[in-house]
Amino acid sequence: MTKLREFKDIYELAAQKGKKLYELCQEYEAQNLEISVAQVREKVKTNLDAMKEAIRNGLTSKEMSMSGLCGDDCAKLLEKYKNDGSRLFSKTYQNVLLYALATVEQNLRMGKIVACPTAGSCGIVPAVIIAVSEAKETDEEAQINALITAGLVGKIVSNKLALAGAVAGCQSECGVAAAMAAAALVEIYEGDNEQILNAAALCLKNVMGLVCDPVAGLVEVPCVKRNAFLAIYAVTGAELAMAGIKSVIPIDEIVDAMVQVGEMMSPKLKESAEAGLATTKTGLQITEELTAKWNRNSGE
């Protein structure tokens, strides 16, 4: 993958070889790691299994984070669906939301998750791949294909854009995760390479500028709920792309624009908790209360 720095490069090479993006990706990974394609896929399966484990554990836990701010949102939503169902959304949609919350709340509990691309955005890719695969009864091999596709999108974006809220805001965390999930979803439905890249492009350009403004500097508020919202956002990107809707701006140019926006973004909006939600009246009050609590505990 080292020589393929832009999406246009891998798209053109895949077209020349008559391969899907995931096929090209796994071949390059095998070459770079000096292992077989089968071994690459086994590594991906390990991550897929960890994602499923995080969802299972998250669905059965109400344990709060150390701050007490988050940890029971998944349980609340699950209880709502059990008692009342949803008047608006399908079972698959419900599971996307549940699985996103379940995963990211496991991260808050220091449970095992897969950073995809980061811990703060860990719920988006698993929620989309696994919820849709369950509904569609997608076999494991196809799920691995989808996860490889997601990883490829994250890898190519990361060649230009640092995947860290402290560098470029949440556009580079939850935003990139949504693009990864959208691409994976198109692969699950056996869309073509152009549709895969358009799904990712549509997500990226419409989340550009998303700031990272965590209350009290914790990856909790607004991060947990943002995972649920961006997971559905990914589904929208995939749905549009599979309908033949294309991004007018090519994906490589979108990434360039995201880099530009990230450089222009104030440091106060890059995970520093110095602006945005972190400095609202309530955000500051929470910060003050938690700081006092931690100081008391450290003095014991």
Q: What was the pLDDT predicted at 300?
A: 59
In this structure, which amino acid lies at residue 57?
N
Whether the predicted pLDDT of 2 surpasses 60: no
- % of the chain surpassing 90 pLDDT: 94
Output 89 or 34, whichever has higher pLDDT.
Answer: 34
| Rounded mean pLDDT, 93-104 | 98
Query: Would you kindly state where each structural domain of the chain is located, as residue ranges?
Result: 7-299
Whether the predicted pLDDT of 27 surpasses 70: yes
Whether the predicted pLDDT of 264 surpasses 60: yes
Contact 141, 194 (CB under 8 A): no
Give the integer Cα–Cα distance in Å for 126 and 96: 9
Q: How far is CA 164 from CA 135, 158, 227, 282, in A?
A: 32, 10, 15, 25
pLDDT, tens only, 109-123: 999 999 999 999 999
Q: What was the pLDDT predicted at 297?
A: 84
Give the integer Cα–Cα distance in Å for 33 and 96: 33
Q: What was the pLDDT predicted at 72?
A: 97
**Max CA pair span of the chain:** 66
Whether the predicted pLDDT of 272 surpasses 80: yes
User: In a 3-state reduction of DSSP, which class is residue 270?
Assistant: strand
- The CATH fold assigned to 7-299 is 2-methylcitrate dehydratase PrpD (1.10.4100)
Q: What was the pLDDT predicted at 181?
A: 99
Q: What was the pLDDT predicted at 87?
A: 81
pLDDT, tens only, 162-212: 999 999 999 999 999 999 999 999 999 999 999 999 999 999 999 999 999
Q: State the DSSP code for 269.
A: G
pLDDT, tens only, 50-63: 999 999 999 999 99
Q: What was the pLDDT predicted at 220?
A: 98
Give the integer Cα–Cα distance in Å for 229 and 218: 19
Whether the predicted pLDDT of 1 surpasses 80: no
User: Which range among 86-95, 112-121, 266-275 shows the weakest confidence by mean pLDDT?
Assistant: 86-95
User: Which range among 146-150, 232-236, 263-267, 294-298 shows the weakest confidence by mean pLDDT?
Assistant: 294-298
As a 3-state breakdown, the chain gives helix, strand, coil percent values, each rounded to 5, of 70, 0, 30
What do you get for the CA distance between the two ends of the chain, in Å?
A: 52
Q: What was the pLDDT predicted at 191?
A: 98
Q: What was the pLDDT predicted at 104?
A: 98
pLDDT, tens only, 65-77: 999 999 999 999 9
| Radius of gyration, alpha carbons of the chain | 19
Give the integer Cα–Cα distance in Å for 222 and 218: 9
Whether the predicted pLDDT of 299 surpasses 80: no
pLDDT, tens only, 124-141: 999 999 999 999 999 999
Q: What was the pLDDT predicted at 32?
A: 93
Whether the predicted pLDDT of 283 surpasses 70: yes
Chain-wide mean pLDDT for the chain?
A: 96
In this structure, which amino acid lies at residue 111?
G
